[in-house]
Amino acid sequence: MDDARKVFDTMIENGFESDVFSYSILINGYCKKRMIDEALWLFEEMTSKGLVANVVTYSSLIDGLCKLGRTRHARDLIHEMQAVGQPPDIQTYCILLDGLCKIGELEEAVILVKDMEEKKLPLNIAVYSTLVGGMLKAGNLAAAKDLFSKLPSKGLQYNVKTYTIMIDGLLRGGLVGEALNLHKGMEEKGCPSDECTYNLMIRGLVRNDEISRALQFKDEMVAKGFSGDNSTYELFVDLVAKVQDDESEIVTEDAAFVHGEPLQDANGPPKVDSEVEILQEKVTKQVVKEGHGPKPSKYSTCFFHYRAWTESTGHKFEDTWQEQQPIEIVLGKEKKEMTGLAISVSSMRSGERALLHVGWQLGYGEEGSFSFPNVPPKADLIYEVELIGFDETKEGKTRGDMTVEERIGAADRRKMDGNALFKEEKLEEAMQQYSMAITYMGDDFMFQLFGKYRDMALAVKNPCHLNMAACLIKLQRYEEAIGQCTVVLSEDENNMKALFRRGKARAELGQTDAAQEDFLKARKFAPEDKVIARELRLLAEQDKALYQKQREIYKGIFGPPPVAKQKRTNFLIVFWQWLLSIFYRLFRRQRQKSD
C-alpha cells in the first residue's frame, strides 16, 4: 500500500488530477489491509478537495469498519450517504448487516432489515440468511427458526446456504432429529448439499455423539466427490485416535501435525476459521485452541509463547517457540509496545492459543522498533499466542525479583500440582503446570547456578520434563515427548527414565533403530527391568513382521516369474475331436477308393 500511495502522490505532483475513482481504489486497498485509519484520512483528503464519494467508496469504508467491529462508525456513514444524496444500495446494507451479525448486535441488525423493508429495497434470500445466522450466533434459536419458516411467505426460496446455516444452528442446539429432517427435506426439494453442508453436518453430529451417522455422511460426502476441510479432518483424526489400540496406523510420522504444535505456513501466520472477537478497538482475537480454568486478573504474572509478524509485509520478526524462551509479563505493568498483547492475554485461559491482530497504536507506535528493524513505523501486528499459565499475585512480583529459593519453591509447587492432575488423568492441565514450573527454571537462571543450588533446581526441572514426556506419550504427541526427554539427557546422559521414554516415543513413530539404541542404554542401568525387556522383544517382533510383509510385497517383483496355470481338460471336447477325426479318415479312405 505504501508503494501504491507513492505512485498516487507522484501522479498528482506531475499534474494529473485525482478523481473519485482513483481515491476509491486506494481507499479500498487500505480497507482490505485493515488499515482503516489510513483509509479514513484519505477519505477526508478527498472530500476536502470537493470530491463527492460514491456508493463504492462508502461501501469499502463500511466494509473495513465492520471487519474491525466499528459498526457505530459504519452506521454513521450510512446516514451520511443519505444526507449527501448517495443513498446506499442493497449491497451496502448487506455489508453493514453482516458486520452487525458477526459481533452479535442482533437488535441493530433487526432494525436495519426493517429499515430496508420500509425502503422497499429488493431483499433477497442472502439478506435473510445473514439475519438467521446472526440470530443463531446470538443464541436465539427460536427466533431463527421462526424467521426461517416465514421466508417462503415472503416469496423467497431457500438456497443451500440458508439450509446449511439453519442445519448448523439446529445441531449446535442439540436438535439432531430436526437437523436430519431438514437435511432430508432439502435434498427432496432439489437443493443438493454442498461441501460446506457436509462438513458442518459431520462436525455437528460428532459434537452430539452421533458417530455412526457422522461416518455415514462422511462416506456420502466422499462418494459425491467432496472432501473434508481441516476442522473436519482434525476432528476425525482425534476421534479415531481415541479408539485405536497400540497397533494403530493413524499416528506415525504425522503425529506432530495431528496432536502437536500445528504446522506453520513459512510465509506467514496460520489461517484460522473461528469467529473474530473484538477485544478493543485496535485488538481482535480468533481462538485457535480452547484453554481451561479462569482468566488472569490485573497484576497477574503471565507466561506465554508467541510468534509475531508485521501485517503489511508478512515478515516474522520474533518466535519464542523457536528460541525456547517464553515471555513473562505482569498485567498492568507491561511495556508500552506490549499493550496490545497484554489486552489479549488478559482475555485468555491457560492452554489457550489464539491469533491476534493489534493496531500499531498498541504495538511499536509511530517510530517502529529499534530492536526489530523489520518492524517499520506504524506497523500493525499479527501474533499467534499460547498462554502457558499465570500466577495471581497482588504485588505482581516477577521471576527476576525472586530469590533463588523462591523460584525453586514456586517451580516445585507447580510440579506437585501437575502430579496431582496427572493422577486424575487431566493431562493437558498437568502439562500446563509442568510448563509453568519449567519457566521458573529458564536457561538464563540455570546458567547462574552452581553446587547445591543447581542440584536443587535440576531436582525440580528434570522431573517436570520427564512428566511432560509421559503426558505427551499418552496423548500420542511423540515428537514433543522426544524433545522433552532430550532436554533431560543433555543434563544427565545416563538418565534411565529419559532414555526409556524417548525410546518408547521413537518406537511409536517407527524409528526402530533409534528406539532400540535408547532401550539398550536404559537396560545397562536396569538390567533386570521387565518393561525394558518387553519393549526390546516387541521391537524384534515388529522387525520380523515387517521383514515378512516386505517379502510378500516384493515377492512378485524380484522373485521368479509366475508359473502359468494349466488349463483344465474338457473330456467332452476331446471325445468330439476324436469322433470327428474317425469320420474324416473314413471319408478320406472312401474317396481314395473312388479315385
Asked if residues 427 and 471 have their Cβ atoms less than 8 Å apart, the reply is yes
Domain boundary among 379, 400, 421: 400
User: Are 526 and 496 part of one and the same domain?
Assistant: yes
Residue 153 domain flag: no
User: Are 187 and 219 part of one and the same domain?
Assistant: yes
Domain boundary among 360, 383, 400: 400
| Residue carrying C-alpha cell 529419559 | 498
Q: Are strands 316-319 and 283-289 parallel, antiparallel or unpaired?
A: unpaired
Q: 511: closest CA among 498, 523, 521, 502?
A: 502
Residue 378 domain flag: yes
* 112-142 CB burial, b ≥16 within 10 A, e <16: bbeebeeeebebebbbbbbbbbbbbbbeebe
Ramachandran angles phi, psi of 575, nearest 5°: -60, -45
User: Are 367 and 285 part of one and the same domain?
Assistant: yes
Residue 284 domain flag: yes
Q: What pLDDT shows up at residue 382?
A: 94
If residue 319 lies in a helix (H) or strand (E), which one and from where to where?
strand 316-319
Query: ∠578-581-587 over CA atoms, to 5°?
Result: 145
* Greatest alpha-carbon span in the chain: 133
Q: 405: closest CA among 460, 335, 338?
A: 460
User: Are 412 and 339 part of one and the same domain?
Assistant: no
Q: Domain holding 220: CATH number?
A: 1.25.40.10
326: DSSP letter: -
User: Are 413 and 542 part of one and the same domain?
Assistant: yes
Residue 89 domain flag: no
Ramachandran angles phi, psi of 396, nearest 5°: 65, 55
User: Are 411 and 310 part of one and the same domain?
Assistant: no
Round to whole Å and give the CA distance between 28 and 31. Answer: 5
User: Are 365 and 410 part of one and the same domain?
Assistant: no
Asked if residues 327 and 303 have their Cβ atoms less than 8 Å apart, the reply is yes
Residue 361: half-sphere exposure toward Cβ, Cα within 13 Å: 8
Residue 3 domain flag: no
Ramachandran angles phi, psi of 138, nearest 5°: -80, 0
Cell numbers given for 125: 434470500
For 31, 51, 54, 95, 153, the CA distances from 36, given in Å and listed in that order, are 5, 20, 18, 16, 40
User: Are 325 and 431 part of one and the same domain?
Assistant: no
Q: 117: closest CA among 154, 79, 166?
A: 154
Domain boundary among 380, 400, 420: 400
Residue 185 domain flag: yes
Dihedral sign for Cα 120, 124, 125, 126, please.
negative
DSSP for 86-102? Answer: ----HHHHHHHHHHHHH
User: Are 379 and 415 part of one and the same domain?
Assistant: no
Round to whole Å and give the CA distance between 337 and 362. Answer: 6
Query: ∠377-374-339 over CA atoms, to 5°?
Result: 55
How does pLDDT run across 338-368, given as a tens digit for each residue?
Answer: 999 999 999 999 889 999 999 999 999 988 8
Q: Domain holding 343: CATH number?
A: 3.10.50.40
Domain total for the chain?
3
Ramachandran angles phi, psi of 354, nearest 5°: -145, 155
Q: Is the pTM of this model over 0.85?
A: no
Asked if residues 482 and 517 have their Cβ atoms less than 8 Å apart, the reply is no
Q: Which amino acid is at 165?
A: I
Round to whole Å and give the CA distance between 374 and 380. Answer: 12
User: Are 455 and 351 part of one and the same domain?
Assistant: no
Q: What pLDDT shows up at residue 229?
A: 67
Ramachandran angles phi, psi of 299, nearest 5°: 75, 10
User: Are 370 and 497 part of one and the same domain?
Assistant: no
Round to whole Å and give the CA distance between 69 and 285. Answer: 12
Round to whole Å and give the CA distance between 439 and 64. Answer: 40
Round to whole Å and give the CA distance between 489 and 462. Answer: 9
Asked if residues 305 and 385 have their Cβ atoms less than 8 Å apart, the reply is yes
Round to whole Å and give the CA distance between 71 and 107. Answer: 13
Residue 230 domain flag: yes
User: Are 316 and 375 part of one and the same domain?
Assistant: yes
| Residue carrying C-alpha cell 476432528 | 235
| Segments forming the whole domain that contains residue 283 | 277-400
Residue 151 domain flag: no
Q: What pLDDT shows up at residue 115?
A: 83
**Mean pLDDT per 10-residue segment, the chain (595 residues):** 64 70 80 79 82 83 81 83 82 84 80 84 84 82 86 87 89 86 87 87 84 83 75 61 41 32 57 89 92 86 90 86 77 88 92 93 86 83 91 62 82 89 88 85 71 85 92 90 89 89 89 87 86 87 69 46 48 63 64 57
Q: What pLDDT shows up at residue 575?
A: 60
